[in-house]
Copies of this chain bind each other. A is one copy, B any other.
């Protein structure tokens, strides 16, 4: 399980509430890990009862109070232990690829609009990542001499950018193939 460790990393970078974590998982953490707010709240409960994180009730004006979590010493120890364990190289789950191979037994051309929709979504993601990179790492407001944490965040973001670029190129390949199959088949 890596969700608890992803939460530890995120809280070490910046303490926050379950709600804030959920939004980070939609944004920066989203390009290598996803989680819904229900999952996050449940895991936060467990981590708190295990003593991995501390809570602080924070009253707010103009919005409901929140519980701000921060990493406690046992949480740091648990993260460190996990960092030194080997993990399995990840394996992909790509539903669209299942559909593409399945299209051989249906109408390949009917898939074009779906692939174009995915292409649009990946175009948007790439634009978001590039905007984030300019804002935090390569733009004029970025730190001139980044520390280790920023270097590591940047290299992970470059991975997200590379993934989106690769995916866009592949989706173009898929579209070419589907178009070729249209008239000739």
Per-residue B-contact encoding for A93-105, CB less than 8 Å = 1, 0 else:
1111111111111
Per-residue B-contact encoding for A7-18, CB less than 8 Å = 1, 0 else = 011001100000
**Nearest-Cβ distance from residue A146 to partner chain B, whole angstroms:** 10
On chain A, which size bracket covers the interface?
35 or more
- Copies, count: 2
Q: Out of B32, B87, B154, name the residue touching A92 (CB < 8 Å).
A: B32
Chain B nearest CB, measured from A55 CB (Å): 20
B90 touches A102 (CB 8 A): no
Partner of A111, one of B83, B92, B122: B83
Instruction: Please name the residue on chain B nearest to A118 by beta carbon.
Output: B89
